């Protein structure tokens, strides 16, 4: 129904406005796009908050994408400490977003009224915040605006993470750059305008919030914004003496200026202080929390059937629950309202039990999780990870004993960090130059995105049909779609796979070359990665041999082999072994290609000036289809380019790399 009818009814008859099954009440707040009103479900009698967004204001401020993204993110989240989105009602003039009603107000007001919180209360709130954020990161969501004003408290003083207006989705191989959020809670890389992956900026904000909970003040605060930014970038703050040793250990690890050395969310969860008094439901990893939230509750289903909805049956309720975008939304919303009310009481009891028992080690096996990989749901998958309650008393003495420093040090020594890609300690310009050379030898075509990120395409069947001299490259990304392409298309001479190569800085003077599949099937992608790695190793070995030959030539007799002759032998003789695809090229064209490569290398030794970024599409000028060698990196122009992107890949927790 059109909302104008309800407005006219209010002014004429002075009766409450009703939207769908919700009767609107008092105004809770006013925002840039509209109001937030308290409402009551007319059948279940549960209270909800309805955010009314005016379409004209959204269009005038050009915020349509921001609103759409926030709604889509909230639809993804099913976590006890993330504010719940029940449904969205569209009208021609307004958008009604029906959300969970949180009656306790903002955490900011709570801290202002009480000052610094007791350790147990601050610990409980912090555990809830971290659990909700870990769930967001599991689904590729980074909040970017964490602060006490966006953390709400319900009637039981439980946290609800809200306001995802500045949030964004993380994508593999891509970084975020937007400087957003409140300055007092923003990470140094955010206020500096640097690239960042996402989770590391939320970790910093959590560190500031933990400091505020325990100290009643902010670690970084100044009336002057430039001075505030200086303090944040330098990491200048002081820890009060009343903090216990464990919190004095955790906070500095979260407020590390260098995102490469900052503690990750998984490491925060594993910290000894975090594990103290951790409720049972928060000991679950994100995917299991979601599964537990989606387990069908028969008692709640019966309550919905008996609530008084027209034509409501058990079958229709189950159908509405399982099909969120279809079926009867009124039955699904009623089920979620009943279920949330029931589980809030259960979680309150679990928190009280955990506080009494003061469990310091999780009862559930919790390991870093990958992105969701299937539809499996229900409690059956949890059976092997649950601890029998009858065994709790027997296990408790063992659980309460923290590992000794000696055993912890031994475990750290045995632990190895896994990386996906190739590590190198060489200069980043030299690494990229070697990458260009390897792509040239493998007959790849490439496109420079940035100084340290390139996209390239490769035709695995290129040797079957060699391009005619008159053929051009065409559209760079016009190719068959690999994952859905039939086998006959994958065997076609024009079948193409597209990958991205990015150079990251993982440690001081250590760089990582990362491979990302953009188009094509996985097996061909892995084959190309293996070829590039093999070629890079071959080029590295050749470079070492040439260096040794150059050193030996300084004291060698006149009849010894010169470096130039040695290089010619490396260039011509092993070429057929290094590039089996080129063995099928006609001899004359192969000889032309080798001669041109030799000329390029000779020109490099003469220190001819080249463009450092390389061509946008590396196509051989003399022989169509054969990529050219990219000239050596111009060290004179190195200062004009940004350093390799220091943040690690966005899903580096899953790949074994620490988050910044």
- Among 94, 145, 202, 330, which one carries the catalytic annotation? 145
Average pLDDT of the residues in 469-478: 45
pLDDT at 192 over 60: yes
pLDDT at 319 over 80: yes
Confidence (pLDDT) at 598: 58
pLDDT at 304 over 70: yes
Q: Token match 């406005």: residue?
A: 17
DSSP 507: E
Whether the predicted model's global pTM rises above the 0.75 cut: no
Hey, what's the torsion of the CAs at 249, 255, 256, 262, to 10 degrees? 80
Name the token pair of 185. 């809670």
The secondary structure of 377-431, three-state, reads CCHHHHHHHCCCHHHHHHHHHHHCCCCCHHHHHHHHHHCCCCCCCEEECCCHHHH
pLDDT band at residue 12 under the 50/70/90 scheme: very low
Comparing C-alpha atoms, which of 579, 470, 572 is closest to residue 535?
579
Interstrand relation of 422-424 and 22-30 (parallel, antiparallel or unpaired): unpaired
| Average pLDDT of every residue of the chain | 74
Q: Token match 């919905």: residue?
A: 304
Nearest-angstrom CA–CA distance, 73 and 85: 10
Q: How many CA atoms lie within 13 A of 116 on its CB side?
A: 13
Kindly list the structural domains of the chain, giving each domain's residue range(s) and its CATH number in brackets, ordered by start.
3-100 (3.30.200.20), 117-373 (1.10.510.10), 422-655 (3.30.310.80)
Comparing C-alpha atoms, which of 32, 315, 35 is closest to residue 19?
35
SS3 of residue 497 by DSSP:
strand
Confidence (pLDDT) at 404: 46
pLDDT band at residue 81 under the 50/70/90 scheme: very high
- When mean pLDDT is compared across 44-58, 238-252, 609-623, the lowest value belongs to 609-623
Confidence (pLDDT) at 546: 82
Confidence (pLDDT) at 594: 54
Crossing angle of helices 329-357/298-305, nearest 10°? 140
pLDDT at 119 over 50: yes
Average pLDDT of the residues in 519-540: 88
Helix (H) or strand (E) holding 594: helix 587-605
Confidence (pLDDT) at 619: 38
pLDDT at 71 over 80: yes
Helix (H) or strand (E) holding 546: helix 522-553
- 535-555 confidence digits (pLDDT tens): 898 888 888 888 787 655 555
pLDDT band at residue 33 under the 50/70/90 scheme: confident
Confidence (pLDDT) at 403: 41
The fraction of the chain above a pLDDT of 90, given in percent, is 32
Average pLDDT of the residues in 516-540: 88
Contact assessment for residue 255 and residue 204, using Cβ atoms and an 8 Å cutoff:
yes
Q: Residue 97 forms beta bridges with which residues?
A: 51, 88
pLDDT at 604 over 50: no
- 200-218 confidence digits (pLDDT tens): 999 999 999 999 999 999 9
Average pLDDT of the residues in 303-330: 84
Q: Is 145 a catalytic residue?
A: yes
pLDDT at 465 over 50: no
């Amino acid at each position: 129904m059109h909302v104008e009818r309800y407005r006219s009814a209010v002014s004429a008859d002075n009766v409450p406005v009703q939207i769908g099954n919700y009767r609107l009440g008092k105004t809770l707040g006013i925002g840039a796009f509209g109001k937030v009103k308290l409402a009551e479900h007319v059948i279940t009698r549960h209270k909800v908050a309805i955010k009314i967004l005016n379409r004209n204001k959204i269009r005038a401020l050009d915020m349509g994408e921001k609103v759409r993204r926030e709604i889509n993110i909230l639809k993804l989240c099913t976590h006890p400490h993330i504010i719940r989105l029940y449904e969205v009602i569209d009208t021609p003039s307004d958008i009604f977003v029906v959300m969970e009603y949180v009656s306790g107000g903002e955490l900011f007001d709570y801290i202002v009224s009480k000052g610094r919180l007791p350790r147990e209360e601050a610990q409980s709130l912090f555990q809830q915040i971290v659990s909700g954020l870990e769930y967001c990161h599991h689904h590729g969501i980074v909040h970017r605006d964490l602060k006490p004003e966006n953390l709400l408290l319900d009637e039981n003083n439980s946290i609800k993470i809200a306001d995802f207006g500045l949030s964004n989705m993380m994508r593999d191989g891509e970084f975020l750059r937007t400087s957003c959020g409140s300055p007092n809670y923003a990470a140094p890389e955010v206020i500096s305008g640097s690239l960042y992956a996402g989770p590391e900026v939320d970790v910093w904000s959590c560190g500031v919030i933990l400091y505020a909970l325990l100290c009643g003040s902010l670690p970084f605060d100044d009336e002057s914004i430039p001075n505030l930014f200086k303090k944040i970038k330098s990491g200048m703050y002081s820890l009060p003496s009343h903090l216990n040793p464990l919190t004095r250990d955790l906070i500095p690890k979260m407020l590390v200026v260098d995102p490469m050395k900052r503690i990750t969310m998984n490491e925060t969860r594993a910290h000894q202080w975090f594990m103290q008094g951790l409720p049972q439901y928060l000991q679950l990893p994100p995917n299991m929390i979601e599964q537990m939230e989606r387990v069908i509750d028969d008692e709640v289903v019966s309550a919905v059937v008996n609530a008084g909805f027209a034509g409501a049956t058990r079958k229709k309720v189950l159908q509405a629950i399982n099909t969120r975008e279809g079926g009867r939304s009124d039955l699904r919303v009623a089920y979620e309202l009943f279920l949330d009310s029931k589980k809030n009481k259960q979680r309150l009891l679990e928190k009280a039990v955990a506080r009494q028992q003061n469990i310091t080690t999780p009862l559930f096996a919790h390991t870093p999780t990958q992105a969701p990989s299937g539809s499996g749901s229900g409690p059956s998958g949890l059976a092997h990870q649950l601890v029998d309650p009858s065994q709790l008393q027997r296990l408790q003495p063992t659980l309460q004993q923290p590992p000794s420093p000696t055993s912890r040090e031994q475990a750290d020594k045995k632990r190895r960090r896994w990386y996906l890609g190739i590590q190198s300690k060489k200069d980043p310009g030299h690494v990229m130059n070697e990458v260009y050379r390897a792509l040239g030898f493998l007959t790849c075509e490439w496109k420079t995105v940035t100084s340290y990120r390139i996209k390239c395409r490769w035709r695995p069947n290129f040797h079957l049909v060699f391009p005619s001299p008159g053929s051009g490259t065409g559209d760079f990304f016009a190719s068959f779609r690999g994952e859905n392409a039939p086998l006959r298309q994958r065997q076609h001479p024009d079948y193409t796979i597209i990958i991205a190569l990015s150079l990251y800085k993982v440690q001081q003077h250590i760089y990582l070359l990362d491979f990302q599949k953009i188009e094509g099937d996985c097996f061909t992608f892995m084959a190309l990665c293996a070829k590039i790695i093999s070629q890079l190793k071959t080029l590295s070995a050749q470079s070492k041999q040439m260096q040794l030959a150059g050193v030996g030539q300084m004291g060698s007799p006149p009849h010894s082999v010169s470096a130039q002759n040695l290089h010619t032998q490396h260039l011509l003789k092993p070429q057929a072994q290094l590039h089996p695809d080129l063995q099928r090229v006609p001899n004359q064209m192969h000889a032309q290609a080798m001669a041109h490569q030799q000329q390029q290398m000779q020109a490099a030794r003469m220190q001819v000036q080249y463009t450092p970024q390389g061509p946008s599409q590396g196509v051989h000028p003399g022989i169509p289809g054969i990529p050219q060698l990219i000239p050596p990196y111009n060290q004179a122009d190195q200062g004009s380019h940004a350093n390799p992107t220091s943040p690690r890949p966005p899903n580096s927790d899953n790949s074994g790399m620490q988050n910044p």
